[in-house]
Amino acid sequence: EFRRVLFRSGAHVLDRAVLGSIEFAVTQLAVPLVMVLGHERCGAVAATVAALRSGPRPGGALAYLVEQISAAVTDVGLDHPDVHARAVRRHITRTVAALRVEPILAPRIAAGTLDVVGAVYDLDTGTVDLLDGPAGLGGPADVDEPVG
């Protein structure tokens, strides 16, 4: 039986509500796959790059998103010519890695009843490129290499 549950958040930032929803889907609905799906030209990533370059941070709830995405931008290098696209991918792999060590999810991943994967949605073509970690088991993906 196929089960699909969709949760959306700004730039797939994990907070308690999103994590609780994922845990519910996995534990109560037996969802076997969690996909962290980012997309090209993500506005939250663009806001983070702009904030890190200019200095002033946005206020309100956007400040929280920028704070959560900043590490991905820093990882790929603020001055990299393709910082936006690489930061989108890096943020996806960081989110996947965080989910894979969550106490409710990790034992199910180890038992083979759950997988957590990352992917990027191409807004122009509608295609989804899976991002791969070592052996598909949770290592950070090379942010340049889509799979399949």
Which tens digit of pLDDT belongs to each residue from 49-74?
999 999 888 889 889 999 999 999 99
Minimal CA–CA distance to 18: which of 30, 27, 6, 28? 6
**According to the model, what pLDDT value does residue 122 have?**
94
Sheet holding 115-121, edge to edge: 33-39, 115-121, 128-131, 146-147
How confident is the model over 127-148, as a mean pLDDT? Answer: 54
| pLDDT tens, residue by residue, 12-49 | 899 999 999 999 999 999 999 999 999 999 999 999 99
C-alpha–C-alpha distance, residues 78 and 70, integer Å: 10
DSSP 15: -
Query: Which run of H or of E encompasses 116?
Result: strand 115-121
Q: Which residues contact 69 (CB under 8 A, 6 or more apart)?
A: 11, 13, 44, 45, 48, 87, 91
pTM: 0.85
**According to the model, what pLDDT value does residue 1 have?**
64
| pLDDT tens, residue by residue, 93-123 | 999 999 999 999 999 999 999 999 999 999 9
Q: 């958040």: which residue's tokens?
A: 9
Query: Which run of H or of E encompasses 147?
Result: strand 146-147
DSSP 81: T
In this predicted structure, the answer to whether residue 148 has a pLDDT above a threshold of 60 is no
Confidence label for 2 from pLDDT (cuts 50, 70 and 90):
low
Query: What is the identity of the amino acid at 107?
Result: P
C-alpha–C-alpha distance, residues 14 and 70, integer Å: 14
**According to the model, what pLDDT value does residue 4 have?**
78
C-alpha–C-alpha distance, residues 67 and 83, integer Å: 17
